[in-house]
Chain A
Amino acid sequence: MEEKKKKDIFEEAWRFLSSVKLAIFTLIILALSSIIGTIVEQQAEPAKNITLLAKFFGDSAAPAVYNVFAKLGFMDMYHSWWFLSLLLLFSINLIVCTLDRFPTTLRLVRTPLGPLAENVLRTLPVKKELKFKTSLNIVKDEIANIMNLSKYRVLEANKDDAIQLYSQKGKYARFGVYIVHLSIILILLGAIIGVRFGFGGFLNLPEGQESDVAYTSGGKEIPLGFSVKCNWYDTKYYEGMDMPQDFKSELVVMDGGREVLKKVIEVNSPLTYKGITFYQSSYGMVPNATGYFVLNITPSGGNSNIIWLKAGESFDIPGTGTRGTIVNFSPALTQDKRTGALMTYAENMVNPAVAIRFDGPGQQQFTGWILKRYPDTGILSGGHKVELVDYWGVEYTGLQVSKDPGVWLIYIACIIMAIGLYIAFFMSHKKLWINIAHESPGSKGPVRITVGGSTSRNRLAFEKEIEHLLSKASHAIEGRSRK
């Protein structure tokens, strides 16, 4: 009695967890609840979302609504216990459903195809009838031949005076769905591995500095096990526009006191060492930093020469007696459209410019701005050239630092899913029976063929295929019987 009850409960639960109804329900809830997290800003400062909520609920109610939402986990909802539980339920549903149905599919695929009685054959979804005035054997040979040519492996059965040819193609297409479902489970597994054994952090590394830790978004240190140094950071702009073309930094990996790796990283081209990957993700100015002006000096007709100077320092243009002194710097120089006055329009180095005072024996003193993005501003009278290569040491490179040992699994799952989807949607399991017999049993009258077929999907295409096969066979048969 007890035993039976237990079994019933187990069967109930199994039926529930394997049902497609549950899948439909979970999908609806997942879709609807996911919307919340796209409206409420995730993992943001409370003030931001309170402002947002005030638009819907009014200023006075917003803080209270915020508290309720926060309790429900809406502020970080994709990591909330209930959302993760939904995903878990979804995966269990998928796994149980697979275990429930897979054996049936396997049996279906394994069971060899057998002949069908003619009356059963006539009830199949796809059917067709033809007559030929020729011998049974000619008809059989030609049809078998055409089917073999179309990659149907033909089997043959004889009963009484009738011959039946039958065949199936693409039985493995039945596995497509399982491959897709498996890939979903693998993606979730990969995500779990990533969360459990990997990390995501960031590191703002000023030019010239080195670090052996990264930071979580909460500010905690993550030891790297080696150190990474930023040689330089540079934003490249499209010519004549304030639109960035590229963000680049040169990174050096130091392990055990030795330089082991050096790479210039860009947005779509990160650096990976010992499973930890450094991505170019942002940049900025180090507060209150002073750096070096890197100038490239080329006297008219002479060789260029790179020099590093601090603010206020001077340099000579070789062989001319002209001295330059650095007197001012602007990270983003522009000219006011109305007044024509020079001004700085951004804090970041969008359009860096250095002001240099030139003087020398017997020369008129003057001060000019030299812009990094417009090298022509550095051409002096007499053809000498001073270029601003960089103001080095004042910018940091913003690195996204992550380790994700689950990524390879995700990539494999992506490939599996693509294959599975292709099989599930574009391939089908087709079965075909062709009965060949004389019109009236025993007689020598016309030969009648009755065709019946079924397919797991895309019936219309299968019907066309059969028609095509039969018309080819008819041609061949008629050709042979005329001889």
Chain B
Amino acid sequence: MNSSMLFDISAGAYIAAMIIYVIYLVVKNRTVGVVATSMTIFGFVSQSAAFIIRWVNSYSFWLASNPTSGFVESLLRAAPLRNLYESLVFFVWSLILIHLLIEFKYKIRSLGAFVTPVAALALLFIDISGTTKEIQPLMPALQSNWLLFHVLLAFLGYAAFGVSFGAAAAYIIMITESKKEKTYIFWSVITGIFLVVLIGMGIDFLSLSAVERKELIQSHFLKATFRSESGGVVVISWLASFVFVSAIWRYGHRLKKVLSSMSITANMLDEITYKSIAVGFPLFTLGGLLMGAIWANSAWGKYWSWDPKETWSLITWFVYALYIHARYVGGWRGKRVAVLAVVGFIAVIFTYLGVNLVLSGLHSYGSQ
């Protein structure tokens, strides 16, 4: 068993778990729920093994080009948190870890149906963005002890935010009453578009050769559907998406019914949203912002240079500080704070991927 095989197994398990969690939401059968959880645990165990094996491999890789490096130093430098691929993988791992902890603590299984899609999306993104999976040598700026702690804590924070996003999304779905409500339209259309893009990327992926897959995001994005050469395919894609999004809007309230008939309450989701932000916020502040600044100071002589990556972390931080104050002191409750939690996670995604793919920056992984 090598690391990438184990990793593929875990990815498969997570995606299966996602499907089973959704089935569980609908059929409410306890056995189905237990299967979903076991599948998640199975995926988690194999991913942990994959992580350790990769660390070991990466350790020998580092030693090969730095034979004089000591044991602890090599171990730190070899931590598999060194590029986009590895950090996405770690994000998925932390997300599942936190999800499992919450599932056992609060005894709510249905949250899985909202957290596993976030993991599945990250996994899918790994494959279709064409980011390299090879163990790569470390560029000079990354050869710092701060890097490991910076990335480790920041990603645990991101994962906690990911859970809060899942809970807040479920909350919003649960409390919207009528199809005409803005929040209802907000979540049903966003979910619809999200799924359409996901399906579109899936079709791309299936129709591309291995070489083309590597650059899907750069040049083949939605080539098999919306951007197809054949006009017929384009029209069908638009029609299908329209029908799909309308269907979600039309039947989305069933999801709400399903949620309300489970043993979860809106209060519980609100509580989980707040709790995970209360865990994510200190982790992200310490790891993402403070250690990032210390690392930048030791590498470039400036702890803060307002480059896009730093600024977007700060924006993310502002949004979550906003959430905390609005809810804890400002007396905001319900929809308004839940929307803030969703916005916060969109800021996280942008900090993490948008800045690399869309904007360029001083320490963007993407530019490399």
Contacts and interface: CB of A to CB of B under 8 A. Distances in A.
A binds B: yes
B365 interface: no
Interface stretch (B203-211, B227-235, B254-262, B281-289): B281-289
Contacts, number: 107
B322 A238 contact: no
Interface in B309-347: 311-312, 314-315, 318-319, 321-322, 325-326, 329-330, 347
A223 interface: no
A65 interface: no
Given A42-B306, A414-B293, A31 B359 contact: no
A407 B285 CA distance: 18
A34 B317 CA distance: 12
Contacts of A426: 282
Contacts of B139: 243-244
B273 to A, nearest CB: 15
A408 B347 CA distance: 30
- Residue picked from A246, A268, A400, A425, most chain B C-beta under 10 Å: A268
B299 A267 contact: yes
Interface string B232-267: 000000000000000000000000000000000000
A451 interface: no
A178 interface: no
B359 A38 contact: yes
A350 to B, nearest CB: 15
Interface in A212-256: 238-239, 241, 243-247
A411 B140 CA distance: 24
A191 interface: yes
A272 to B, nearest CB: 10
A24 B326 contact: yes
Nearest to A76: B306
B318 A30 contact: yes
B289 to A, nearest CB: 9
Contact of A34 (B293, B302, B314, B321): B314
B293 A410 contact: yes
A28 interface: yes
B137 A279 contact: no
B321 A27 contact: yes
A35 to B, nearest CB: 7
A272 B329 CA distance: 45
Nearest to B278: A425
A268 B299 contact: yes
Contacts of B347: 31
A277 B303 CA distance: 13
A207 B298 CA distance: 24
Interface in A384-404: 400-402, 404
Interface residues of A, number: 47
Interface in B98-150: 136-137, 139-141, 143-144
Contacts of B293: 410, 414
Contacts of A24: 322, 325-326, 330
Interface stretch (A141-149, A294-302, A415-423): A415-423
B285 A421 contact: yes
B35 interface: no
A34 B315 contact: yes
A38 B308 contact: yes
Contacts of A245: 65, 137, 140
A266 interface: yes
A20 interface: yes
A411 B294 contact: yes
A270 B311 contact: no
A33 to B, nearest CB: 10
Contact of A247 (B140, B294, B314): B140
A400 B299 CA distance: 10
B304 A191 contact: yes
Given A244-B139, A268-B140, A268-B141, A20 B315 contact: no
A270 B299 CA distance: 8
A246 B140 contact: yes
Contact of A38 (B137, B312, B321): B312
Contacts of A28: 322
Contacts of B294: 411, 414
B73 to A, nearest CB: 12
Nearest to B319: A31
Contacts of A31: 315, 318-319, 322, 347
Interface in A14-45: 20-21, 23-24, 27-28, 30-31, 34-35, 37-39, 42
A83 to B, nearest CB: 10
Contact of B282 (A191, A270, A425): A425
Contacts of B70: none
Interface string A80-124: 000000000000000000000000000000000000000000000
B355 interface: yes
A372 B289 CA distance: 41
Contacts of A266: 140
Nearest to A241: B137
A200 interface: yes
B290 interface: yes
A24 B340 CA distance: 12
A35 B347 CA distance: 11
B304 A414 contact: no
Contacts of A244: 139-140
A15 B325 CA distance: 17
A400 B300 contact: yes
21 contacts: A23-B325, A24-B322, A24-B325, A27-B318, A27-B319, A28-B322, A31-B322, A37-B311, A38-B355, A39-B359, A78-B311, A238-B137, A244-B140, A245-B65, A268-B141, A268-B299, A400-B300, A417-B285, A417-B286, A418-B285, A422-B282
Interface of B: 65, 136-137, 139-141, 143-144, 278-279, 281-282, 285-286, 290, 293-294, 297-304, 306, 308, 311-312, 314-315, 318-319, 321-322, 325-326, 329-330, 347, 355, 359
- Give the top 10 A-B pairs by smallest Cβ distance, nearest first: A279-B301, A421-B282, A31-B318, A267-B140, A38-B308, A402-B301, A268-B144, A414-B290, A27-B322, A400-B301
Interface of A: 20-21, 23-24, 27-28, 30-31, 34-35, 37-39, 42, 78, 191, 200, 238-239, 241, 243-247, 266-268, 270, 277, 279, 281, 400-402, 404, 407, 410-411, 414, 417-418, 421-422, 424-426
Given A27-B325, A418-B286, 6 more contacts: A20-B325, A34-B311, A39-B359, A244-B140, A267-B140, A414-B290
